[in-house]
Structure 1
Amino acid sequence: MFKWSSSKTQRRKPRLPEGIRIYAISDIHGCADLLQQMFTVIDKDLTTIGSRRPIHVFLGDYIDRGPDSYRTIELLIERGRRHESVFLKGNHEAFLSDVLKDPSQLEQWKQFGGLQTLASYGLRPSLKSDAAEQAELVHQLATRVPPHQHRFFASLRLRFVCGDFFFVHAGVKPGVPLAQQQEHDLLWIREEFLQSEAHFGKYIVHGHTPVQEPDIRFNRINIDTGAYATGNLTLLTLQGDSLLAL
């Protein structure tokens, strides 16, 4: 369990608007069982919320690497039907979209964790495939993804702002106003953002780069704890100027 401490932030703590509680999760990567466990934790916490407005924020990378991308997407869609939820796009969802448009990227996607996603949709590709086989496999995948999941992927957002917080998958490019950030940076940026000591105008909540435990800085927090490799999926709870990651 991790909380803000005065030693970790020397500026005024960022705040959410009064009456809002946010639950944020990033980089699920097909770990449906871990996601279900976190929903149980959230449901218990919701019994303490009183009249506050709860918002679920998911920071992308729902698929690839882990064992059950299909069920992960189903859980998220069902959650979104019953709770106010914001679903952001991760670079893995962007990669899936690229593959569906261009089957020649299939081999690269397979090395990127796509094999596990294909398996979760009931597909077993050969180790080596020519262009025709790749095109057929991508066609099969497009038909195995049900229409409501296609709509889910198409609806993913790049960012979400609430109060002093800016939620995004990977991070932001230093020196560029938040309103002018480019999609590639929001989904893929690493070192230039991670090493920056700048104040970005909002407090950045992100994932994308795995860390052993939630990384709380004065200008950002990284909540990607490598669930598919470590078995640890982090839940961040925000309310007022309080922050709790578990």
Structure 2
Amino acid sequence: MAFPETAPRVPEGTRIYAVGDVHGRADLLGRILAEIERDVTRNPCDDIVEVFLGDYVDRGPSSQEVLRMLQADPAHDGERICLKGNHEEMVLDFLDDPELLVLWMQNGGRPTLQSYGVSPPAEVGRTTIGQARDQLREALGRDLDFLKKLKLSHVEGDYLFVHAGIRPGVALEAQDPEDLMWIREPFLSHAGPLPYFVVHGHTPVEAPEIKPFRLDIDTGAVASDVLTCLVLEEETRRFLTTG
């Protein structure tokens, strides 16, 4: 199957709540989770699936709290799936190679370190970056296992959920993980159909960007105060938002 020739659907009896990039905004995550619960109460459904699209950490002030909130059981009787974004990958890369500290901090890593009680070194040297890495590894605790187990993609019916997108012309099973977490072009400007309708984040937009074959729900929460949740049921789409 390829889109946009046919209207994408989720399985009958299933409702999907897909949430865009959180980036350390635990306050907004709490609000969107409350919106989801209110929606479930108003509109009961047998099979509820929450899908978080990655980039839970960095830039915002409360990365640790966001990760702890995501590991909690949903208030409803449903499933929660958390995907890996490029910022989760940067945390893991830093733990493997502390020389990546400066690059990570340039991309919003400083607030993540601070949320775990780790002071970024005033002077960057081999000893100081190693100490920062060791301190973060210890402070992460169970959150490190959570980060390591994050999935790269999830499929429900005709929809593919992924952090950044996919490389056109490449089968899902052959996609490069780096593309799934980092890609912009040629995905964003691809004019042809894809094997799934892709729901993604990674590229900030002022409002959900709906294209014939993809939907971007990264509404730049860390700066805009707007965290977006896409609600999918059968062939319908609607949105919940903190804005």
User: Structures share a fold, TM > 0.5?
Assistant: yes
SS of corresponding position for 2:93: helix
2:128 to 122, 125, 133: 133
Q: Percent identity?
A: 42
CA shift for structure 1 position 49: 3.7
CA distance in 2, matches of 1:116, 1:242: 38
| Residue 138 (structure 2) pairs with residue 143 (structure 1) | yes
Within-5 A mapping of 1:68-79: 68-79=62-73
What's the CA shift string for 1:132-191, capped at 9, x where partnerless?
A: 1000111000001122x1221111001000100000000000111122111011010002
Within-5 A mapping of 1:1-246: 11-79=5-73, 83-147=78-142, 149-246=143-240
CA distance in 2, matches of 1:128, 1:26: 35
CA shift for structure 1 position 123: 1.5
1:183–1:81 distance in 2 versus 1, CA, 3 Å = farther
Query: Contact conserved, 2:121 with 2:129, CA < 8 A, in 1?
Result: no
Query: Contact conserved, 1:11 with 1:218, CA < 8 A, in 2?
Result: no
Q: Quote the RMSD (CA, aligned, Å).
A: 1.5
Query: Contact conserved, 1:178 with 1:200, CA < 8 A, in 2?
Result: no
Moved more, 80-89 or 236-245: 80-89
Query: Contact conserved, 2:14 with 2:45, CA < 8 A, in 1?
Result: no
CA shift for structure 1 position 244: 0.9
TM-score, normalisation: structure 1: 0.93
Query: Contact conserved, 1:63 with 1:93, CA < 8 A, in 2?
Result: yes
1:48–1:29 distance in 2 versus 1, CA, 3 Å = same
Query: Contact conserved, 1:61 with 1:92, CA < 8 A, in 2?
Result: yes
CA distance in 2, matches of 1:28, 1:170: 14
Per the alignment, residue 4 of structure 1 pairs with: none
What's the CA shift string for 1:211-246, capped at 9, x where partnerless?
A: 000000110000000000111100110000001123
How many residues align? The count is: 237
Q: Match for 1:115: what amino acid?
A: R
CA shift for structure 1 position 51: 4.3
Give every structure 1 segment of 4 or more consecutive aligned residues whose post-TM-superposition deviation is greater than 6 Å.
none
CA distance in 2, matches of 1:17, 1:108: 42
What's the CA shift string for 1:87-124, capped at 9, x where partnerless?
A: 10000011110100110001110111000100111122
Instruction: Specify which structure has the higher proportion of helix.
Output: 1
